[in-house]
Structure 1
Amino acid sequence: MKVEIFSDIACPWCYLGKRRFEQALDRFAGKAEVEVVFRPYQLVPDAPESASPHRAWLAERYGPQSVAMDDRVTQLGKAEGVHFDFDTALHVNTFLGHRLLHLAEREYGAAVQSELKELLLKAHFADGVDVGDRAALTELAAAAGIDRDRAAAYLAGDEGAAEVRAQLAEARELGISAVPTFVFEGKWAVQGGQEAETFLRVLEQVAAETAETAGTSGTARHAESAEPAGHDAHACADGACTV
């Protein structure tokens, strides 16, 4: 079974969703047969390449409610073992990080890509790291098992940029407007950072469906989905961040 996760590095629900999905996967009997690949998505594609404080950016966009938004996610994160420190988090463009994730998958495989994704999310949300900085990204790549010199040279040029832009365009063509979005076998889509129990049911349902229809093709459909509660541009409400 292949699971493609469309998500952004700067999306708190993508962090929560990753953790909850992994909890479900650990309980899934067919875990060994599941390949998880992360696909790029940018909630704020025009974010600056120079980092600025997350709190200031969010307050400018949403006003006083921005504090409550962050506090809500912080409390939910505690239940999942995910730490958020929005006081030190930085607002910055995530394109370079997505390029690095593309390199990880292409040259090192899904497991290294998943490890890098975890490190990027932690760096951004918990450690106050500028994930738009090439030197910082190189260190994170090395920590994930990617050759340091290869990562530095890759980030210094524009290798992989066209491929990542094509994947971002593909997400738009698929109609994805909120992340995280989990696509199972290219056919079933689940939107939002669902509870682990929901992800487990979906994994079991997809496994059963694919077993029944082995050797046949089908059209895209939804196994289970959750609409984001928010509607403002770039809003992060319960379950997903929307554009």
Structure 2
Amino acid sequence: MPSQRPVRLDLVHDFVCARSYLAFTRARRALETVRAEGQGAELVLRPFQVRPDASPEGEPLFEVHRRDRGEETARRIRADTTTGREDGLRLRFGHAVFTNTFAAHHLLARAAPQGLALPVAERLFRAYFTDGLNIADPAVLARLAAETGVDTGTGLTDLTDLTGHLRDELARTRTLGSETGPAFFLDGRPVLGEEPTEKELLTLLRESPAEVNRSGPQAG
């Protein structure tokens, strides 16, 4: 009987994308469930920037929506208190500070080799959508790093190499991600849509090992 190999689920995301927050939350919970069932699985977070030209100075999300989508839509989004509620999340669109997310992705890249990618990502999403923090502010990021236990000492990884790696990865995901939502890839294959449910993610992860055993290793 062929042995099962761990399933890899990639999530191309941005921290200022509400659908990415929902997708991350559901995928993380699905991952925890299948791991508790004894299945090998990993969630790999890959960076994407909805607005790579956004200023790190930040501005109220309401102003961005009003400029891009009009006053009525901006007011409707600001008043929304239902998005994320069923997932146990509190998204406060009226408090969000829209900003450039390169520095936030950089922190996540520092956290990943330390085994802290998922808790750091959760904290960055919550900082943006719930706490109303500017996640491009160095002082904010330093505080979040300390909260989550990330060692940001320069001795761990050369900062220039890490920055270059992140820029290269963003260039790769630019054609994979979307300005309207996240993208999932299972062992390199695109799967699901922008708003999969936790149940759909669970089904995908549970069925994947059998699919891999039937089809054999994927070409690299």
TM-score (norm 2): 0.85
After TM superposition, give the deviation of residue 66 of structure 1 in Å.
2.4
1:146 to 2:150 alignment: yes
Paired residues of 2:30 and 2:202 also in contact (CA < 8 A): yes
Shift of 1:194: 1.1
> What is the Cα deviation at residue 87 of structure 1?
1.8
Counterpart selection for 1:194 from 169, 193, 196 = 196
| 1:148 to 1:167, Cα distance in 2 relative to 1, 3 A | closer
Measure, in 2, the Cα distance between the counterparts of 1:60 and 1:95: 22
2:208 to 206, 209, 212: 206
Q: Which moved more, 1:27-36 or 1:181-190?
A: 27-36
Q: In structure 2, what residue type is equivalent to 1:35?
A: E
- Percent identity, aligned pairs only, is 27
Where relative contact order (Cα < 8 A, 6+ residues apart) is larger, the structure is 2
Task: Name the residue aligned to 1:28.
Answer: 34
Which residue identity lines up with residue 93 of structure 1 in the other structure?
Answer: N
Query: What aligned pairs does 1:1-243 form with structure 2 within 5 A after superposition?
Result: 1-28=7-34, 32-63=39-70, 64-72=72-80, 74-105=81-112, 107-109=113-115, 112-147=116-151, 149-150=153-154, 158-173=160-175, 175-177=176-178, 178-214=180-216, 216-217=217-218
- Residues 191 and 167 of structure 1: is their aligned pair in 2 closer, same or farther, counting only changes over 3 Å? farther
- SS in structure 1 opposite 2:29? helix
User: 1:42-75 deviations in whole A, cap 9, x for unaligned?
Assistant: 0111101111111111111111112334555x31
CA contact (8 A) 1:25 1:31 kept: no
Higher alpha-carbon deviation: 17-26 or 95-104: 17-26
User: CA RMSD for the aligned pairs?
Assistant: 2.5
List 4+ stretches of structure 1 deviating above 6 A. Answer: none
Deviations 1:1-40 (A, max 9, x none): 1111110010011111112223323333656511112110
Q: What amino acid does structure 2 have at the position aligned with 1:19?
A: T
Task: Pick closer, same or farther for the CA change 1:139–1:148 going to 2, 3 Å.
Answer: farther
CA distance in 1, matches of 2:192, 2:49: 18
User: Relative to structure 1, is the Cα distance of residues 161 and 56 closer, same or farther in structure 2, using a 3 angstrom cutoff?
Assistant: same
Distance 2:85 2:161 in 1: 38
Call closer, same or farther: CA 1:196–1:212 in 2, change over 3 Å: same
Secondary structure at 1:160's aligned position in 2? helix
- TM-score between both structures, scaled by the size of structure 1: 0.78
Q: Cα deviations across residues 143-197 of structure 1 (Å, max 9, x unaligned)?
A: 111125559x989x65522111111111134x43353112111124333131111
Q: Deviations over 1:66-90 (max 9, x none)?
A: 2334555x31311111111122210
Structure 2 residue runs without a partner (length 5+): 1-6
User: Does structure 2 conserve the Cα–Cα contact (< 8 Å) formed by 1:54 and 1:91?
Assistant: yes
User: Matches of 2:52 and 2:110 in 1, distance apart?
Assistant: 20
In 1: Cα distance, 2:16 partner to 2:38 partner = 27
Q: Is the 8 A contact 2:14 2:101 kept in 1?
A: yes
User: Is the contact between residue 20 and residue 193 of structure 1 (CA under 8 Å) also seen in structure 2?
Assistant: no
